[in-house]
Amino acid sequence: MKTEFELGITNPVSKVQKRVPEATGVSRRNLCSVLKEGENLENGVAMAFSTTRKLRPKFTLKGS
């Protein structure tokens, strides 16, 4: 966004879903999922933001 300013290239403010990923470095898909989850919070569909559950490998000690 800084280089755009220096070159005089700007995205209109109305194109928020295009400007935010460029400014923050997140993907547009992630932005859309966060917006959708925020709407669910406002409407009472969900209680809080959630994270994906990551499967973590379980290590066992052998030979003791």
Domain annotation covers residue 27: yes
Domain count, the chain: 1
- The predicted-structure confidence for 37-63, as pLDDT tens digits, reads as follows 888 888 887 777 667 778 888 888 876
Domain annotation covers residue 61: no
Q: What percent of the chain has pLDDT over 90?
A: 0
Q: CB of 17 within 8 A of CB of 32? A: yes
Domain annotation covers residue 57: no
Domain annotation covers residue 31: yes
Outline where 1-64 has alpha helix (H). Answer: 2-7, 16-24, 28-43
Check residues 52 and 9 and name the one with the higher pLDDT.
52
Domain annotation covers residue 11: yes
- pLDDT at residue 11 tops 60: yes
Token pair for 8: 């005089």
Domain annotation covers residue 15: yes
Range of the domain at 31: 2-43
Domain annotation covers residue 13: yes
- pLDDT at residue 1 tops 80: no
- pLDDT at residue 5 tops 70: no
Domain annotation covers residue 64: no
Say what the pLDDT of residue 44 is: 82
Q: CB of 19 within 8 A of CB of 26? A: no
